[in-house]
Chain A
Amino acid sequence: MSQKNVKNELSRRTFLKAMGLTSAGSALALTGCGDTDIINQVDLEVRKEKVLPAVDPLDFIRPGREVHYSSTCRQCPANCNIHAKTREGRVIKLEGNPTSSTNWGRMCAMGQAGLQGHYNPDRLTKPMVRKGGKLVETTWAEAETLLKKHLGKKNAKLAWLSGATSGHQAVITKAYLDAAGSQNHFVFDTVPPSVGLAANEKMFGHAIPKYDFDKAKLIVSFGADFLGTWLSPVQFGAQYGQFRNAPRGTLVQIEPKMTLTGSNADRWIAIKPGTEGHLALALASLIAKDSNFKGKKIGNLDVDIEATSAATGVSIERMHKLRDMLIAQSPSLILSGNSAEGFAHGSQAANAILMLNIMLGNVGETILPRSKPAFEDLQPQLGGWAEMKAFIDGLADGSFDTAVVYGSNPLFQAPDFMKADEAFAKAKMRIAFSMFPDETTMACDLVLPVHSYLEEWNTSVPAYAADDGHLNIQQPVMNPVFGEGSTYSYGDIMLGLVSELDATFKNWDSYGAYIRDALATMKPTLVNPPKATVAGQTDEEGFMQGVLAAGFVQTKEAKASPINAKASSVSLPQGEAEGGKYAYHLVPSARMGLYDGRFANIPWLQELPDQLAAVVWDSWVEIHPKTAEKLGLITGDKVKVTSEAGSLEVSVFVFPGIHEETIAIPLGQGHTEFGRYAKGVGVNPHKILTPVFDEETGELATHATKVSITKIANRGDVDTRKHGDLVLESIQTSQKGREIVKSVSADDFDHNEGEG
């Protein structure tokens, strides 16, 4: 294409023509979002030089000068807004977008490491097709023919599994499935707390209400790791920073395995897994009976405190202390997280915990309502295990004949008992849209290599939106790493597919054009839509440029009506079934870093020491020192962890931050595929989970598995960084009296600190 075309014609449509975005006769529209395209749409530059659209790119990209593009991080469902720093046409650093209410210019380790996913040497660069039982590389032409053959028709037996999705990505997936006559869209993401969200929905009318951490004087979190993996760690991290300013709020974390959030608590309380709800009820009862409590009492709160203390392992004095704090430090915020909810009675436990908020008058103070979204279709779908199970069950019983997977890895995540691989193998046709050769991708018949989130157009909605109506915009920040024609964007392929079945989608040449058109259509519904800022610019151009430079838009939303909280009665099981030979509770813990395993192919994150255990490049099982002593184990020994559903061999890490009757194996490792950095490293605790499901939501009870431990090998006597096979980044746990990290009591904390 010639630069002259671009210079003379500023209209977007003409410009698209100039770019030659349609590959004639093909269902697949080429992305074609090269440098030139970006340059004409964006002008966000930190150097604050005014960049006009359609200037010569050589003027714009000057060697030695960085250019920042606004886009969105898609590493986890939190969807933070980012500025991608590019130099000479390649992205070299991701930074937070300071104007975003989701992350306020901040980013987490996983977001930073998105670059190594984007530039990963194991990325798929050619489509693959199964021939004679083996996946072999093929051409896009052949892949496209196959794709049209299998997906270019109506098929009620088509099943589609996505990772957490939102925005126009969700819209186009739904549009295609509607056109194809399939009702079978499933969404699965490992970490979002689906049980708790369902409980929120029932109690507050919002699956994810707004939280005001700063206003809370006390946060009591039952296993919600909001600084690590819970919903939107950067958002909550920023709120936590405010919360810790004067007047300093108090954080109490109650959970069986210390999370990153727990390690920052003023009081961390180890609780026996599965009894979090019981403790919450006991607290409610204690509060209701206290003469200082003036709030409303809910339901029948006749709880045997002594029995609860025995069952939970939390002393009566501690409960009294918590009661006093909850009454005195109002408003507070009570959160329920994965480790409280992963049981057969998970929904009931979440109800018991969240109910405390109603009693203590936190609703309307620290738990705030949302408005009804203006665009329902764009809202995030976080999914959960129930949908994954439905997907697998449908494949197993032959209800589905074609399986499509995008952004999810069911064969890695699903426990062995689900027999996901067998069910998957039954499908006549299995198609993966994938960036990496992961377990599911390698079991498919047709593999379509897709763009990374830094190469494609999209929109998304953050799982936790600090402002209602927040819509993120994602734009390519560079040319595709592997060149034009090697990978395609999911959106473009979907647009091609849907336009085969639904002619209205033939209006758009590319997914990028579709997104831009959608944004232009939304203009009247937006809060302060950008205007033309440069002489000679039409309103349309000014709007698009402004929107892309901002990286997000906000739709006008109706005023949120106050939360009408409904407490439901809670029934919790009394006593626990004897585990028999399985004496220990297994916590499969997600952590900031490898998350649920999707980042195991990122060397930066493999080498990022676990925040608490300091282990790198491995899996380990956390065992309390007392338990370890009883079992004769030291850090580095190898043990076999056995549940009814299977067993794993893993190295021991003796760790005080875990309940004595509990062991924890972090998620993230145990890949059998997934490239050079991930394959063959560690174990996946999900594999040995037993078939227990939450009775109300049908979600897998991820924390309900009980296990036994047997030693299989000694690590040896030498105490070095290398403990057997386990590598610790730091073997030192004690300051040895030195003042490296000094502490003071909050009483001494200057109560004027942090203000202004």
Chain B
Amino acid sequence: MSLSRMLDNWSRLNQRDYYKDEPIMWGMSIDLNKCTGCASCVTACYAENNIPAVGKEKCATGHTMHWLRIERYWDLPEGEADLAVEESEYPERGAHFAPMMCQQCNHAPCEPVCPVAATYHNPDGLNAQVYNRCIGSRYCGTNCPFKVRYFNFFDYSEDIPHPMEMLLNPDLTVRSKGVMEKCTFCVQRLRNAKGDQADKGIRGHVEDGEVQTACQQSCPTEAIVFGNLKDSESKVSKAWEDHNVELNRHEQFHEEGERGYRVFEELNVEPSVMYLDRVRDTNA
């Protein structure tokens, strides 16, 4: 790729609707009314994506590699004072959980800062990471508002004791030292599903439900819905529609009963993950 072509592609990639005519755009909906914070999805993600457990020492220095983590807070955000409980020493409305993974931003702040175009937007709406192009500048991680990019400070794969290497998923690589990694929406599964469709001569369409991400698959309460946002019949696009969440907005306007929002959408990064408000019965 010549430099001029790379720069040219780059500026086009940063045009908002560059991929608007592509048939697939993967998206997600996470219902915080149902999410219990059990972390089943976290372990499923470790298993599916060859994520190393780094040990206590490295956890202490912030090197944990969990592509998907559970955010847990004990207080309400601004402007929700009416939901607060009366004076109490205890968190009587429980915790605030949100599974947090790469939001696959359509206007991703990580992409333009990569000096080698290792992270780029693919036509399926994924914020892709090319490991063998990555030189480890970590600019992308710095620029990510969600802090969901994880850097390999070490060669974890060298330390896997026998026979634990046998559980590695051969559909994706084990990453080596000096490489940035992050949630891919289980791209290996998506590619497999698309490949299966292509075998049948169908291109650009995957039947809704034919492919699940690992986190979605394991979720006991079905809080996570995943699918093609361009397919108006898919569960995920219906969820987006039901909750009146649209791309190209940096604030969602809600009628009663609509609970959708995207984290930090005021930053105009256009996440592909919609969250639905956590619900609490304030009469209880």
Interface residues of A (CB under 8 A from B): 47, 64, 87-88, 90-96, 103, 105-113, 115-116, 118-121, 227-228, 233-234, 237-238, 240-241, 244, 248, 250, 252, 258, 260-270, 321, 325, 481-482, 592-593, 603-609, 611-612, 614, 616-618, 624-626, 656-657, 660, 676, 720-722, 727, 729-730, 732-735, 737-753
A722 touches B282 (CB 8 A): no
Contact with A along B234-252 (1 / 0, CB 8 A): 0000000010000000000
Contacts A241-B222, A730-B72, A734-B73 hold; do A109 and B91 have CB atoms under 8 A apart?
no
The 26 sampled A-B contact pairs (Cβ below 8 Å) are A92-B168, A93-B47, A106-B40, A107-B40, A107-B220, A109-B38, A113-B43, A233-B38, A250-B281, A264-B94, A604-B43, A607-B59, A657-B95, A730-B72, A733-B73, A734-B75, A735-B73, A737-B78, A738-B77, A738-B78, A740-B96, A741-B32, A743-B76, A743-B96, A745-B279, A746-B280
Which of B10-18, B19-27, B118-126, B156-164 has 4 or more CB atoms under 8 Å from chain A?
B156-164
Which of B60-68, B105-113, B131-139 has 4 or more CB atoms under 8 Å from chain A?
B60-68
B89 touches A626 (CB 8 A): yes
Cα–Cα distance between A656 and B56 once the two chains are bound (Å) = 25
Contact with A along B38-56 (1 / 0, CB 8 A): 1110111011100001111
- Interface SS majority for chain A: loop
A88 touches B170 (CB 8 A): yes
Q: Shortest beta-carbon distance, B275 to chain A, in Å?
A: 7
Cα–Cα distance between A87 and B70 once the two chains are bound (Å) = 30
Cα–Cα distance between A480 and B107 once the two chains are bound (Å) = 48
A743 touches B83 (CB 8 A): yes
Question: Which 4 residue pairs of A and B lie closest in terms of their CB atoms, listed nearest first?
Answer: A750-B257, A237-B220, A241-B221, A603-B53
User: Which residues of A lie under 8 Å from residue B59 when comparing CB positions?
Assistant: 607, 616-617, 721, 727, 729
Q: Shortest beta-carbon distance, B150 to chain A, in Å?
A: 13
User: Which residues of B lie under 8 Å from residue A264 when comparing CB positions?
Assistant: 36-37, 94-95, 97
B220 touches A234 (CB 8 A): yes
Q: Place the interface of chain B in its size category.
A: 35 or more
Which of B1-9, B173-181, B258-266 has 4 or more CB atoms under 8 Å from chain A?
B258-266
Interface residues of B (CB under 8 A from A): 32-34, 36-40, 42-44, 46-48, 53-56, 59-62, 64, 66, 69-80, 82-83, 89-98, 161-164, 166-171, 196, 214, 217-223, 242, 256-259, 261, 263-264, 275, 277-284
Cα–Cα distance between A103 and B93 once the two chains are bound (Å) = 28
Cα–Cα distance between A229 and B53 once the two chains are bound (Å) = 23
Q: Shortest beta-carbon distance, B82 to chain A, in Å?
A: 7
B39 touches A611 (CB 8 A): yes
User: Which residues of A lie under 8 Å from residue B32 when comparing CB positions?
Assistant: 741-742
User: Which residues of B lie under 8 Å from residue A611 when comparing CB positions?
Assistant: 37-39, 70, 72, 95, 97
Contacts A113-B43, A739-B263, A750-B256 hold; do A248 and B279 have CB atoms under 8 A apart?
yes
Cα–Cα distance between A111 and B281 once the two chains are bound (Å) = 32
Contacts A657-B91, A735-B77, A739-B263 hold; do A745 and B220 have CB atoms under 8 A apart?
no
| Contacts between the two chains (Cβ within 8 Å), count | 305
- Choose among A481, A482, A656, A737 the residue that contacts B89 (Cβ–Cβ < 8 A): A656
Cα–Cα distance between A219 and B271 once the two chains are bound (Å) = 36
- Interface SS majority for chain B: loop
Further contacts, 19 of them, CB under 8 A, given A92-B167, A234-B220:
A90-B166, A93-B47, A112-B47, A120-B164, A241-B221, A263-B95, A270-B90, A608-B42, A617-B55, A656-B74, A733-B73, A733-B75, A735-B96, A738-B77, A740-B71, A741-B77, A741-B96, A746-B283, A747-B283
A744 touches B277 (CB 8 A): yes
- Interface-centre pick from B80, B169, B278, B280 (highest chain A CB count, 10 A): B280
Q: Shortest beta-carbon distance, A342 to chain B, in Å?
A: 21
Contacts A106-B220, A738-B77 hold; do A729 and B47 have CB atoms under 8 A apart?
no
Q: Shortest beta-carbon distance, A299 to chain B, in Å?
A: 27
User: Which residues of A lie under 8 Å from residue B162 when comparing CB positions?
Assistant: 121
- Choose among B72, B92, B163 the residue that contacts A612 (Cβ–Cβ < 8 A): B72
A749 touches B38 (CB 8 A): no
A607 touches B54 (CB 8 A): yes
User: Which residues of B lie under 8 Å from residue A729 when comparing CB positions?
Assistant: 59, 64, 69
User: Which residues of A lie under 8 Å from residue B264 when comparing CB positions?
Assistant: 738, 740
B72 touches A119 (CB 8 A): no
- Choose among B43, B76, B257 the residue that contacts A608 (Cβ–Cβ < 8 A): B43
B42 touches A267 (CB 8 A): no
User: Which residues of B lie under 8 Å from residue A268 when comparing CB positions?
Assistant: 90-94
Q: Closest residue of chain B to A751, judged by CB?
A: B257
A252 touches B53 (CB 8 A): no
Contacts A482-B163, A657-B90, A733-B75 hold; do A109 and B42 have CB atoms under 8 A apart?
yes
Cα–Cα distance between A115 and B169 once the two chains are bound (Å) = 12
Cα–Cα distance between A744 and B279 once the two chains are bound (Å) = 5
Contacts A727-B59, A734-B75 hold; do A267 and B93 have CB atoms under 8 A apart?
yes
User: Which residues of B lie under 8 Å from residue A267 when comparing CB positions?
Assistant: 92-93, 281, 284
A743 touches B38 (CB 8 A): no
